[in-house]
Amino acid sequence: MDQIQRVKIITKILNKTYPKISVPLKSRNTFTLLISVLLSAQCTDVNVNNVTKKIYPKYYKPEHFVRLGRKKIEKLIRKIGIFRIKAKSIFNLSKILVDDYKGKVPNTFDELEKLPGVGHKTASVVMSQGFGFPAFPIDTHIHRLAQRWGLTNGKNVIQTEKDLKKLFPKKNWNKLHLQIIYYGREYCKARDCFGITCKICSTCYPKRKKPLITKKA
């Protein structure tokens, strides 16, 4: 089975499993989406949502977080991993948005990636889910699955993003990256499937008998 055949099988299974898909991180607007994605680094979406559901009803604009200051932001997000570093980034990026962008989140990769604490993956999620711009956010989980499914050689997340963008139509990127995330969490888990048991792995690689060791991002 070649790569093109695997892409067709993967697309069919994902569309059948998740015909409709929702954004896992809860947000009130593009700014709170940006904050939630920043908070989700080294943290589960569930934990982020549990914390932000107490924040966003009252604080949902950059101006709000500038007025709060770093220490109060720390108290609000202290249940999140590396909360002090994230609080610093949230305060500093909020100040930049107020000073330079009239409180609006910029809608280009270049401008987003210049904000404190915002890397390419975070910018990709905001561009995709916040602005509807075709993007393919790649985290370590998608990187692992893409290797298992024979879609990339697994050098790093940058290479994986390039490979997936070549294989799948641009119009499908925004939905597809969410479908892969959900499928990985439910069926192709790191310590359960090992590239052998889930429907995608067993269909694409019926002769694979030994666990596949994937390369880290």
Q: Catalytic residue at 121?
A: yes
Phi, psi angles (nearest 5°) of residue 87 = -65, -40
Out of 121, 163, 166, 171, the active site residue is: 121
Rounded Cα gap, residues 131 and 125, in angstroms: 9
Residue type, 133: F
Cβ contact 50:26 at 8 Å: no
DSSP codes joined into one string, 104-151:
PPP-SHHHHHTSTT--HHHHHHIIIIIT--------HHHHHHHHHTTS
Residues 6+ apart with CB under 8 A from 145: 180, 183, 184, 188
Rounded Cα gap, residues 202 and 67, in angstroms: 53
3-state SS, residue 192: coil
Out of 58, 61, 72, 139, the active site residue is: 139
Q: Catalytic residue at 189?
A: no
Active-site positions?
121, 139
